[in-house]
Every structure is written in C-alpha cells, then in structure tokens.
A and B are shown apart, each in its own frame.
Chain A
Amino acid sequence: NAGVTQTPKFQVLKTGQSMTLQCAQDMNHNSMYWYRQDPGMGLRLIYYSASEGTTDKGEVPNGYNVSRLNKREFSLRLESAAPSQTSVYFCASSGPQGTSSYNSPLHFGNGTRLTVT
C-alpha cells in the first residue's frame, strides 16, 4: 500500500521556469491538499480539493495553480518559478473511503524539495 506518492523528490529550477509537481493517492480519499514547509514557518496550506471536481485556495496560493485530475491525482503547477518558492512541498490526502470527514487525519507524502535559483 503506497499511500501518498509525490514526484519528483528533488527539483532545481531557474527563475521563470515552470514545472508541475505530481501527487497520487491510493487510499480512495476524497480530499487532497498541497502544503509548503519553510524553516520556522511550519506547514502552510497552498490549495486543497475537498472532493473530485473542486479546488479552493489556502493561505498562500499566489504563484500556484492546481488540478484535481481525478480522484487519485492532485497536481501543483508553478507557472513562473521565483526564488521565494524555494521550499519543501507536501501533498496529503484525507477522508475515509467514499466520504470526507472533518475528523479524518491527513496522510502525507514524503515531499518534493524544490530550489529556485
């Protein structure tokens, strides 16, 4: 059981380049999330998708776009990368099979370490 899988694990971009971070979960969860983690800042929510077909902004959505491709996959796109987007990005999913529940914990991937020069 793979859980939440993120690709790539590491990436270096130049300012202005674009890229898409991929995330897939195999737990049949309804909700998926993208967080970024920066030293001393904890985890901050970028975007989330409460269910297939819906996406909403989190705390720090500027400079990012997301796509909920299907129930399993939720991608994060940087259209024009900036040094301020250097961070570790985590994808997560939650919700028991077939439903979403507010008390359901998040299951995290192992992260993508992105450096923008």
Chain B
Amino acid sequence: AQSVTQPDIHITVSEGASLELRCNYSYGATPYLFWYVQSPGQGLQLLLKYFSGDTLVQGIKGFEAEFKRSQSSFNLRKPSVHWSDAAEYFCAVRGGSNYKLTFGKGTLLTVNP
C-alpha cells in the first residue's frame, strides 16, 4: 500500500529565508507525486506534480520539488519565503494503476515578519 510521511508538523521561518518541507513516500514502483497548499478556510490548490522525466520540477508561486528515488523523498523548496506563503502544505502520492491519492498529514508553515 502507498503511504506518505511528512516529518514536520509545524515549521516557522522568517520572511525572505529559504524553505524546505520534507516528504517521504512508500510505494514499490515509481509513484505519481504531488504537493498541495491549503490556505485557512480554503480547499487545496496544486503547487506541482511529478510523474516522470526531470527529477526537479517547478511549480507555481516560485516553489520547486526534487524527486530522489534512492531516498524515497519529494521535498518542497522555495529560495525566499513571502508572508503570503503561510499555509498548510500537503504531500500526496498515487500508485501506478490506482485512482486513490494518499495524503500526508501536512506541515503548517508560519512566516515571521
């Protein structure tokens, strides 16, 4: 069965600092991987996705993520965080022939001025 672990429940960074949110997945073959962001009271918005090709993928709002098969990881990064990035971030995985998308428990990002 597929699963996702986000080790950090809550991260606080200063505005302008760099950011890395960790995501580890469990799946036997190459998975489809996604990062979503959720602002308070809102639904989830797709930031980026990976399913093949270049292991460094670019997303919206200046985010990028790198797929590392050897580490079963798909970490999300941003070089310089803005106050508007404060939100909850979810990593998700889907197996090869599987419609189910499994989410991690999320990482809450706080941005200090």
- The residues of A with any CB-CB pair to B shorter than 8 Å are 4, 31, 33, 35, 40-45, 48, 50, 56, 58, 90, 92, 94, 100, 102-103, 105-111
Contact = CB atoms under 8 A, between A and B. Distances in A.
**Chain B contact patch, size range:** 20 to 34
B27 to A, nearest CB: 12
Given A105-B49, A108-B44, A111-B43, A42 B90 contact: yes
Interface stretch (B14-22, B67-75, B103-111): B103-111
Interface of B: 9, 32, 34, 36, 41-46, 49, 51, 90, 94, 96-106
Given A103-B49, A109-B43, 8 more contacts: A42-B90, A42-B105, A43-B103, A90-B44, A94-B99, A94-B101, A102-B32, A102-B94
Contacts, number: 59
Contacts of B42: 110-111
